[in-house]
Structure 1
Amino acid sequence: MIEMNLLGAASFRIAAAIISITCIFYTTVLKTKKSIRRRLFLILIYIVFTDSIVGLICAGVAEIPDIPYKVKYDICFFLNSFYYFIHFGTVVIFLYYMSFVCDVLFRFGKVRKRIILLPLAIIDIAILTNPLTHIMFSLDENANFKNEAGGYVAYFISFLYFINCVVMLFKYWKAVNYTKIAALAYFLVLTFIGMVVQLVFPLISCEILCEAIGLMGLMVMVEKEDERLDSTTKAYNRIALLQDLGNIIGMKRSFKIICIRVDNADNYRRIMGVDSFDRILSEIVSIIHGINTYLNVYRNGDANFFIIIPDADDKKVNDMAETLGGRFEEGFFTDKGETKVNATILVAGYPDEFKYADDIVLLSEAPLDADDYGKIIKGRNLEFLLRTIEVEKAISQGISENKFHVYYQPIYGKKCGCIKAAQALLKLEDDELGEVNFREFMPIAERTGFAEELEIRMIESIMQFLGNDVNKGYMNIDFVLIHIMAAKVLNKKLVTTVQELLVKYNVDPKLIAFDISDTMAEMSEDNLRYVVNEFYDTGIRLFLGNYGKDSSRITLDAMEKFDGVIMSAWRFLDPDMVKQGDIIMRARTDMLTQLGKKILIGGVDNKIYFEKILEVGGDYMSGNYMSAPLSKNEIQVRFWDYDRVVLGCET
């Protein structure tokens, strides 16, 4: 309502107008991404500003004695009608604004949207007919405003809208950022206080001022998104991506996601320069907005972009992916001329392919096959990538929740067939994926930096087993073989940790043997030399693992401090891998025996391999044909029972 007392209303109206102008100016300067939410916010500001100006004009006209009463009455009546007409729409617009902030408008069906607008339509009709009915308000002989029954009903309806806003706030507060919740609650409380005060004390015209202050709070806490924007491309950043994914998943709203990965970004930046490449990244964002102005684009990492498309059908998303792919084929113009930038586009969806925000973000980080670069990957072609992401997540959870377990595969003597040693194997037992094979999770663990952590944990578990069970259980075991998982594990920290654990669990160093593959030996020669010397001096055994037909590149000097080698049966005996493998294997075993090296033949997983390795030299053998990996309790029983396998000559 408009108070006609100039001194009582002017200060509130002027303050509200100044705050509104400030909000309009600041919002315009911000130049945030175009969105329906931003437009609704601007409409709210314009309404408050207009109401403030209308109130000032009306109060001023009412105080000018020289204006004829009829003219004064008509002007004030028109201004009050206009004020009412736009002012009661504020709470309805704010309700829709809240639905965009909370991302719940998709839950409103067409009927519900019409029902929401129906009371406002009735109020506006009543205002338009008020000159005839005087049901909303009237003016006395001094052109002073007076609320009628319809005006109070309109305020009651506004209160019902207000209650609807409060219910929405409490119902969906978990799905919205706490800062936004606080800003929305602040606006609602401030507006409610202003409305109640002005209804109870008509001379205190503070309703518009309270709304203006509340909107300024929304502008600062909701509309200002500096912390969510990438400074270079003006796309949203990783923080915004995780927040928005969390919100939309929390609302259980289906959506499609397009991930654009610019391949070899570092090379492009070196070739064309940082500034030129950054301009290309900004142009990519502009291209996406050119397809759809209201799409949210997010930059994750160096040159990866995400597009979230709520409630989109497959055809629409596929067409967009094809359009983007075609645009990358055209190339980009830089200071050095036209440059073609290769990009891989991945298309996925929630909840069909992904169920968690962290998994979706991994689309920009998971490794791709060489043949997949520069293509559009979707549907079944995503299965390998999805599996990789699931395993990576399982590794992280497995470390934090102790789901990695050490198993022991028996190692038997080739001459006696009796159990002699054990090979430690690490297994991941995930609740969702079940048992994950070492060969599957290890490359992912190495790429993500978990290899060293897993190695240390496995070594400590083995040391604890040897110290607490073997020494006290009188197991006649030669050694436990531990596989070095990655080249980066070969460092001083490994040596120090092993030496400390030997002392901590009182383990005889001769019970420990490390398997270092020939590939790692070639990749980390300097670190290898240090580790080998330290372990050799400590009394720890060393085996050169993965020894094959190409391992002759390892020099005899490097082999000097190794106790022996590990040969995989399939590398020599698989007819698809090598011809006359048994002859090569026999020659290698004879040579190594002459050098005084112990030979462990692993991977004996079937009867054919078993029978063939009995014909060549060697000291130890292991494989699933003789025994599957066992728990520490099961391996103890095997040693206590002097387990042995039947050799060919004994059958």
Structure 2
Amino acid sequence: MFNWISPFNYDFAIAAIPIQIILLVFYGFRRNLPIWQSTCFWLVMFSNLVMTTADIISCEMNEIWNEFPLWVMYAINHAYFLGFIIRGWALFAYTSESTHAYKKGDFVYRIITNAPAAVAVTLILSTPWTSAIYTIAEDGYHNCSLYQTIYFSTYFYIFTSLLLIVLNWRKLSRRMQGGLLSYNLLLLFGILIRKQFYHMLVTSYFSILCIIIIFLTSENPDLHRDNRTLLLNKDALDLIGYDYWEKKIPFSLLTIAIHNYEASKTIYGVTQLNDSLRTLSSWLSKSYPRNFVFYTRNGTFVILIRGNLQKEPEVVIDDWKAKFDELKNRHFDILPLKVSVMLIPSTIIADNVSITSDLARYAMNSAFSENHKGNYVFTQDMVETVNKRKAVEKAIKKAMNDNSFEVYFQPIYSTKEEKIVGAEALARLKDSELGFISPADFIKIAEKNGDIMEIGRQIFEKVCIFLGAINVERLGVQFINVNLSPVQFMNTNLAGEFSDIADKYDVSMDIFDFEVTESTVEDYEMIHKQVLDFQSKGSELSLDDFGTGSSNLSSLMSLPIHVVKIDMSFVHSYFNGKDKFLPDLIRLFRNANMKVVVEGIETLEMKEAIAEMGCEYEQGYFFSKPVPPEEFVSYMEKMMKENSGDKD
């Protein structure tokens, strides 16, 4: 044990020093993100170590001040006070960066938030001549009139940090919310304890607790690194990209996507695929040492090229191709993968910084098709496509919140009864800004982001509201087909939820025939369960758009599906003289005791020819385009009168 000279208790401060040194060493030997947020964390740790060490030493030296030169006494006390101020400012700067509170060009914000620290530092540095903060007189160390300035600065930064957290709360992840709020409150508590127990040096201890919280919630290098490839991950890409945008640093993105990544797991096995990923990752890091390489999961990589491109985009792509071909030749045995690349130049990013992540996502998803067309560099047309997608996503969210999706009905004709007997319910979306949005556009987007679950529920409820308000028997409506997305099929309680909605409007489930696509049928175990669930409620399932998927025909025939709808592409090919197997296809399903619906009927010739092939149901513009509920009722009433007239 040391025999301390001063009356201060150093236990907490001494305990904090080795922890701080360990964190500094560990953090220093790991690759950190090149962003101001990480720099602030460095500054917090370093200033806290200086403050803690100087605090202990100065307390001891102040007891025997006359044994040291005056400049040494001022130097060690200055180290403590400057460390104290800089640590408080750096913690605030870290909070400001984490909440993205600072806006480019907001000099007023910078002046206001930097002023307290600047004033405190100025007073500290002037102290040997002005005795503003403290003095070392003939009788030793004394606090002076402006000593409380250092605490004012600390309180200012803590409360300003808390204000920033509250104002930007919704923009933060839960992890960041908890981390930022807890360490600021903890630091405030530590300062209050220090004021209450003056002779106990606890500030350093609470500071190291704050540093540990920051490290665990956001600054641990492992949080920003992919475990398999050891490359930076998508979170790191987002942070670096945002930081570069704030600092107006130009950068380009080279996206790399492995073809058929999920299928490659089955073809090559997970072990070989992981070996290939590691080989490719190592090669990318060595080939682009001055740039940042990221693995954003699912077989996609991104290279961030800082600054404006030194070569033409086409030359950058040619260099990539040459390098990658050389890699494949050297490692073909462990790297049998094919990749697609897209380059997003800094000029494109500079004009579209707010949607950079969307541009990168589109580049990765569309790289294969664009490369096939000879496109390797992101163009303004692609930007327009991304902007359109963003606008459609916004329209979808608005329609969901407003419950403004519409239901249209397209009649289905029975060749046996020679009349309209049912209809297919179709979702329609009209936006005040975009106008009519094609289902081909909004359904794909809704399936990818999960909104299709809520859209499907709203559409089905509106169908039930409509059916509950009309006399279906009087109109001759025997069934209504409702489309189900493969994403909806993942809901194991789908039949129960739909049954509850139908019961709410006193609609029997046996009027519904739910259509599923071939991609859904690929999961035979799931569809068996769903078919049984819907049948238990009185409904049936049918196969929609046969011919657009790749399901196994023999397995398909074994499913308890009673109706198959043949895609209109077969119909058009048949009547255009390209393919002649449509009659055989209809005969195949009829022999399997399945009824057939053929869509795409546009002429009387097609109607009569398809009926002669033995098809039970027909659907298409020859009968009617999809129409709103009111028009569908009028249409059915008209058909009922015509049928009655024919009988008379």
Q: Does the alignment reach a TM-score above 0.5?
A: yes
Q: Distance in 2 between matches of 1:118 and 1:482?
A: 64
SS at match of 2:409: strand
In 2: Cα distance, 1:522 partner to 1:75 partner? 82
1:264 corresponding residue in structure 2? 259
The alpha carbon displacement at 1:495 in A equals: 5.3
- Counterpart residue number, 1:342: 340
Q: How far did 1:101 drift?
A: 1.9
TM-score relative to the length of structure 2: 0.68
Instruction: Give yes or no for contact 1:331–1:341 (8 Å, CA) kept in 2.
Output: no
Q: 1:320-339: CA deviations, max 9, x gaps?
A: 97786455234246585178
Query: In the superposition, relative to structure 1, how do residues 401 and 346 fare at CA in structure 2: closer, same or farther (>3 Å)?
Result: farther
Aligned positions of 1:23-62 closer than 5 A: 23-61=23-61
Mean CA deviation greater in 558-567 or 544-553: 558-567
Greater Cα shift, 14-23 or 522-531: 522-531
What is the number of residues matched between the two proteins?
Answer: 577
For 1:485 and 1:428, locate their aligned partners in 2 and report how far apart those are by CA, in whole Å.
Answer: 18
Letter of the structure 1 residue corresponding to residue 581 of structure 2: S
**What does residue range 63-78 of structure 1 map to in structure 2 within 5 Å?**
69=66, 71=68, 75-78=72-75
Cα distance between partner residues in 1 of 2:365 and 2:313? 19
Q: 1:425 to 1:101 in 2, by over 3 A?
A: closer
Q: CA deviation at 1:30?
A: 4.3
Is the 2:429–2:438 Cα contact (8 Å) retained in structure 1? Answer: no
Alignment match of 2:321 (pick from 323, 329, 342): 329
Q: Distance in 2 between matches of 1:289 and 1:140?
A: 57
Query: Is the partner of 2:33 in helix, strand or coil?
Result: coil
Distance 1:592 1:551, change over 3 A: farther
CA displacement at 1:628 relative to structure 2: 3.9
Note the alpha carbon deviations across 1:35-62, whole angstroms, 9 max, x for none.
3322322222222222333333344445
Among residues 557, 565, 575, which one is paired with 1:529 in the alignment? 557
1:503-539 per-position Cα deviation (integer Å, ceiling 9, x unaligned)? 47xxxx9xx9x786663699542245335x863xxxx
Contact 1:408 1:630 survives alignment (8 Å) = yes
The equivalent of 2:6 in structure 1 is 6
Moved more, 211-220 or 335-344: 335-344
Cα distance between partner residues in 2 of 1:350 and 1:206 = 48
Name which of 198, 208, 212 aligns with 2:208. Answer: 212
Residue by residue over 1:139-170, the C-alpha shift from the partner in whole angstroms, topping out at 9 and shown as x without a partner, is 35453x21011323444344434443333333
Offset, 1:275:
1.9
User: What is the distance in 2 between the residues matched to 1:590 and 1:169?
Assistant: 69
The SS at the match of 1:204 is: coil
**1:203 maps to amino acid:** H
Q: Distance in 2 between matches of 1:469 and 1:259?
A: 57
The separation in 2 between residues aligned to 1:497 and 1:43, in whole angstroms, is 61
Question: Could you tell me how far apart the structure 1 residues matched to 2:82 and 2:444 are?
Answer: 67
1:274-313 aligned at under 5 Å gives the runs 274-284=274-284, 290-291=290-291, 299-305=295-301
1:425-504 maps to which residues of 2 (within 5 A)?
Answer: 425-429=425-429, 431=431, 434-438=435-439, 472-473=473-474, 475-476=475-476, 486-488=517-519, 492=528, 496=532, 499-500=535-536, 503=538
Q: Rate the CA distance shift 1:142–1:558 in 2: closer, same or farther, 3 A.
A: same
Q: Tell whether the 8 Å contact from 2:413 to 2:619 is kept in structure 1 after alignment.
A: no
State the alpha-carbon separation in 1 of the partners of residues 145 and 214 from structure 2.
33
1:528-555: CA deviation from partner (whole Å, max 9, x where unpaired): 5335x863xxxx7988964324142626
In structure 2, distance between residues paired with 1:385 and 1:459: 30
Is 1:134 paired with 2:128?
no
Moved more, 116-125 or 42-51: 116-125
Question: Residue 552 of structure 1 aligns with which residue?
Answer: 581
* Structure 1 segments unaligned to the other structure (5+ residues): 574-581, 605-621, 647-651
Structure 1 or 2, whichever has the larger Rg, is 1
Counterpart Cα distance in 2 of 1:387 and 1:191: 47
Aligned equivalent of 1:610 = none
How do 1:172-251 and structure 2 match up within 5 A? 172-199=168-195, 202-237=198-233
Paired residue secondary structure (1:221): helix
> Structure 2: which amino acid aligns with 1:380?
D
- Residues in 2 aligned to 1:131 and 1:465: alpha-carbon distance in whole angstroms: 85
**Aligned counterparts of 1:142 and 1:331: Cα–Cα separation in 2:** 74
C-alpha distance 57-326 of structure 1, shift in aligned 2 (>3 A): farther
Cα distance in 1 between the residues matched to 2:309 and 2:553: 50
Give the drift of 1:188. Answer: 3.5
Offset at residue 496 of structure 1 (A): 4.0
Code of the residue aligned with 1:486 in structure 2: it is T
Cα pair 1:254 1:349 within 8 Å, conserved: no
Counterpart of 1:381, as a letter, is M
TM-score normalised according to structure 1 size:
0.68
Structure 1 residues 11, 279: closer, same or farther in 2, change over 3 A?
same
Deviation at 1:392, TM superposition (A): 7.6
Task: Provide closer, same or farther for how the CA distance between residues 379 and 71 of structure 1 changes in structure 2, counting only shifts above 3 A.
Answer: same
Counterpart contact for 1:544–1:562, Cα < 8 Å: no
1:146 to 142, 146, 158: 142
Q: Is 1:383 matched with 2:389?
A: no
More displaced stretch, 118-127 vs 440-449: 440-449
SS, match of residue 331 in structure 1 = helix
| Aligned CA distance change for structure 1 residues 254 and 78 (closer, same or farther; 3 Å) | closer
SS of 1:146's equivalent in the other structure is: strand
Q: Which AA in structure 2 matches 1:377?
A: F
Shift of 1:71: 3.3
CA distance in 2, matches of 1:210, 1:50: 15
SS of match in other structure, 2:227: coil
Q: 1:452 to 1:32 in 2, by over 3 A?
A: closer
State the identity as a percent. 16
User: 1:405·1:427 contact (CA, 8 Å) conserved in 2?
Assistant: yes
For residue 103 of structure 2, give the secondary structure of its aligned residue in structure 1. helix
CA 1:352/1:273 → structure 2, altered by over 3 Å: closer, same or farther? Answer: closer
Cα distance, 1:379–1:467 mapped onto 2, change above 3 Å: same
Measure the CA separation in 2 of the matches of 1:286 and 1:131.
53
Contact 1:58 1:75 in 2 (8 A): no
Residue 134 of structure 2 aligns with an amino acid whose one-letter code is F
* Counterparts of 1:467 and 1:118, CA distance in 2: 68
Please name the residue that 1:607 is paired with: none
Q: 1:94 aligns with which of 91, 95, 99?
A: 91
- Judging changes above 3 Å, is the alpha-carbon distance between structure 1 residues 142 and 211 closer, same or farther for their aligned structure 2 residues? farther
Distance in 2 (CA, whole Å) between partners of 1:592 and 1:30 is 72
- Residue 485 of structure 1 and its aligned partner are, at CA, apart by 5.7
The answer (yes or no) to whether the contact 1:54–1:79 under 8 Å persists in 2 is: yes
Alpha-carbon distance in 2 for matches of 1:478, 1:257: 59
Deviation readout 1:81-121 (Å, 9 max, x if unpaired): 34334433332233322222222233563465356445544
Cα 1:203–1:354, aligned 2, differ >3 Å: closer, same or farther? closer
Structure 1 stretch displaced more, 133-142 or 279-288: 279-288
Partners of 1:413 and 1:419 within 8 A in 2: yes
- Secondary structure class of the residue paired with 1:81: helix
- The 3 A distance-change label for structure 1 pair 5 and 150 is farther
RMSD: 5.4
1:579 corresponding residue in structure 2:
none
- Residues of 2 paired with 1:364 and 1:644: CA distance? 56
Partner AA of 2:135 in structure 1: S
Contact 1:391-1:441 within 8 A present in 2 as well: yes
Could you tell me how far apart the structure 2 residues matched to 1:463 and 1:472 are? 15
SS at match of 2:176: helix
